Amino acid sequence: MAHLASRRWRALALSAGLALLASLGVLPGPAAAEQDTGPARSPASGAGPALSYVVNTGTGHRAAASAEQAVTRAGGSVVMAYEQVGVIVAHSANPDFARTLRRTRGVDSAGATRTAPLPAESVTDTDTPLRLTAREQKVLAARAAPGQDPMEPLQWDMRAIKADLAHRTTLGSRDVTVAVIDTGVDDTHPDIAPNFDRAASADCVTGRPDTTDGAWRPTGAESPHGTHVAGEIAGAKNGVGITGVAPGVRVSGIKVGDASSFFYTEAVVCAFVWAADHGADVTNNSYFTDPWYFECTDDPDQKALVEAVTRASRYAERKGTVNVAAAANEGYDLASHRVTDTLSPDDGTAASRTVDPSKCLDVPAQLPGVVTVSATGTRTLKSSYSNYGLGVVDIAAPGGDSTAYQPPEKPATSSAVLGPVPGGGYAYMAGTSMASPHVAGVVALIESRHPHASPAQVKALLYAGADPLACPDPYDFDGDGKADAVCRGSGSHNGFYGAGLADALHAVTR
List of E strands, 155-289: 177-182, 202-203, 250-255, 282-285
Residues carrying CATH 3.40.50.200, the chain: 17-32+124-509
Q: What DSSP state is assigned to residue 194?
A: G
**Cα Rg, the chain, nearest whole Å:** 22
pLDDT of res. 298: 95
Residues carrying CATH 3.30.70.80, the chain: 51-112
List of E strands, 344-460: 353-355, 360-361, 371-376, 395-398, 417-421, 425-429
Show Cβ contacts of residue 133 under 8 Å, excluding neighbours closer than 6 positions.
Answer: none
What span, in angstroms and rounded, lies between the C-alpha atoms of 40 and 127? Answer: 11
Class at the top of the CATH hierarchy for domain 51-112? alpha beta
Whether residue 113 contacts residue 266, with contact meaning beta carbons closer than 8 Å, is answered with yes
What pTM was estimated for this model as a whole? 0.90
Whether residue 175 contacts residue 60, with contact meaning beta carbons closer than 8 Å, is answered with no
Whether residue 77 contacts residue 92, with contact meaning beta carbons closer than 8 Å, is answered with yes
Q: 339-341 and 395-398: which strand pairing?
A: unpaired
pLDDT of res. 358: 83
Measured CA distances, 259 to 202, 223, 240, 253 (Å):
16, 8, 29, 16
Side chain identity at 234, as an amino acid letter? A
Query: In order along the chain (510 residues), what is the average pLDDT of each group of 10 residues?
Result: 38 36 33 30 44 96 95 96 98 96 96 87 40 64 84 96 98 98 97 98 98 95 94 96 97 96 97 98 98 96 98 98 97 92 94 92 97 98 97 98 92 90 93 98 98 98 98 93 95 97 97
pLDDT of res. 325: 98
| Cβ count within 10 A of residue 421 | 27
Q: What DSSP state is assigned to residue 341?
A: E
pLDDT of res. 275: 98
- Candidates 162, 148, 153, 231; CA nearest to 397 is 162
Burial of residue 49, with CB atoms counted within 10 A of its CB: 0-12 exposed, 13-18 middle, 19 or more buried: exposed
Fold of 17-32+124-509: Rossmann fold (3.40.50)
pLDDT of res. 23: 38
| CA-CA-CA-CA dihedral for 502, 410, 423, 328, to nearest 10 | 40
Show Cβ contacts of residue 302 under 8 Å, excluding neighbours closer than 6 positions.
Answer: 111, 292, 295, 296, 360
pLDDT of res. 371: 98
